[in-house]
Amino acid sequence: MNDSTSVARQAASAPVEAALMPPVEVIEDASGITLYADLPGVPREKLNLHVEADTLTIEGEIALPTPEGMEATHVEVAHPRYRRVFTLSKELDAGKVGAEFSQGVLKLRIPKAEHAQPRRIEVRVA
């Protein structure tokens, strides 16, 4: 059995914690993509982003404070976590991801790799 098979089996057998999938909007332009993810209730310190190889993972833990001495009698947020995983195109430069987070909205800017950028070719007169 090779290493990749054993790693795949370990990953498949590991318990996966249930999470909400945040809605996203992806906009592509000539220089890259901009991804917006709605993560209401997630404070900045509970937001985790990471890129490994060609995989982008967005994770956030919802922090809904309950006033002292009170307890919830009805809860519509059954899973207090968000998680979304994306496979990035080889055209994108995963090493240059930029992130902003404001009012529960995450904005990621992922530029295209230099080899995938449009470029103008100068034509000289002979």
Tokens of 74: 């009805």
Element (H, E) at 3: helix 3-13
Q: Which of 72, 69, 58 is nearest to 107 (CA)?
A: 58
How much of the chain, in percent, has pLDDT values that exceed 90? 52
Instruction: State the Cα–Cα distance between residues 40 and 43, nearest whole angstrom.
Output: 9
pLDDT of residue 49: 96
Fill in the amino acid letter for 39.
Answer: L
How far apart, in whole angstroms, are the C-alpha atoms of residue 46 and residue 61?
5
d(CA 28, CA 91): 12
Q: Which whole number is the average pLDDT over 29-40?
A: 94
Q: How many residues does the chain have?
A: 126
Instruction: Check residues 83 and 65 and name the one with the higher pLDDT.
Output: 83
The answer on pLDDT for 13 being more than 70 is no
Would the CA dihedral through 68, 72, 75, 79 be positive or negative? positive
Do strands 32-38 and 105-111 pair parallel, antiparallel, or not at all (unpaired)?
A: antiparallel
In a 13 Å sphere around the CA of 63, the CA atoms on its Cβ side amount to 8
pTM: 0.73
